[in-house]
Amino acid sequence: MTRAELVNKMSLDLEFIKLSLAGNLVGQTIFYRQETGSTNDDAFELGCSGAPEGTVVIAEKQSSGKGRLNREWHSPAGVNILTSIILRPSFSPELGPLLPIMTGVAVAETMNMYCPEKVHLKWPNDVLINERKVSGILAQIKMASGRIEFIVLGIGINVNMLRDQFPAEIFESATSLRDEIGKEVSRIELIIRLYENVAKWYKALVNEGFEPVKRKWLAMTPMIGKKVRVMLREEIHQGTAIGISNEGALILQTAGGKEVKISAGDATIIKE
């Protein structure tokens, strides 16, 4: 076993993670898988069988990792973070989209601890370092009788992945924490900080509403005031980003001065 493999193996010592997270809402119950299809699918199943709020699934490898908009999520085994968190919020379903936004803020804040001032958020919840994607979030909601029964927040973070491990199609647009800071990162430390930050921002959202999350999101995005294009299948919207709504939609002002709220899609800043 190489040194890198050893550090990564040791880094997911579950007992240590649990001990470090004593009293934290997220990470009290951990399901660890060497390999699985998708941690989101596993968490969804656990959610259906009544797993408590804060339960997490962690995997070293996914054979069918899922991304947003029906894409795939690629990650080599044992070097990154692949996790899904179950939350059971009691707020109304229209506010469901605020949960992945809140998670984006928590991930960005965690990344910022390693790479200060270089971390940005791209709507809705991509986390970028030096304009390259380091993390993505996939939320899946289970509704029952018109309310949210639970939500699965799937988080993929490229931690110790090396440049030559990125597939060709994302080689230019993606990065890893290690690539950015030039040294290996302890995944155990990172995952503990991540679960602490998710719990902290979730509590803020539940107790204080969207305002604090929104403020932090706006402070970490370069999009506001920029020309932005949002694509969703055949649909394309273009305009100046002027904010996010209280339901988590991106607000664009079109060339004609009209304000439109976009609730899903892939956003890019148009370079002029």
Q: Does 84 participate in binding ligand BTN (rule CB under 6 A)?
A: yes
The three-class DSSP label of residue 31 is strand
Nearest to 7 by CA among 251, 207, 184, 263: 184
Figure out which of the listed residues 47, 68, 176, 198 binds ligand BTN, where binding follows CB under 6 A.
68
Task: Extract the tokens encoding 69.
Answer: 């908009």
Q: Does 154 participate in binding ligand BTN (rule CB under 6 A)?
A: yes
Q: Does 136 participate in binding ligand BTN (rule CB under 6 A)?
A: yes
Q: Does 104 participate in binding ligand BTN (rule CB under 6 A)?
A: no
Residue length of the chain: 272
Q: Does 197 participate in binding ligand BTN (rule CB under 6 A)?
A: no
Binding letters toward ligand BTN, positions 203-242, x by CB under 6 A:
----------------------------------------
Q: Does 73 participate in binding ligand BTN (rule CB under 6 A)?
A: yes
Cα distance between residue 204 and residue 102, in whole Å? 9
Figure out which of the listed residues 27, 89, 97, 156 binds ligand BTN, where binding follows CB under 6 A.
156
At its nearest, how many Å lie between ligand BTN and the CB of residue 82? 4
Buried b (16+ CB within 10 A) or exposed e, 163-182: eebbeeeeeeebbbbbbbee
Task: Extract the tokens encoding 269.
Answer: 């800043």
At its nearest, how many Å lie between ligand BTN and the CB of residue 161? 13
Give just the sign of the alpha carbon dihedral 13, 187, 39, 73.
Answer: negative
Query: Can you give the binding site for ligand BTN, defined by CB under 6 A?
Result: 38-40, 62, 65-68, 71, 73, 82-84, 126, 136-138, 154-156
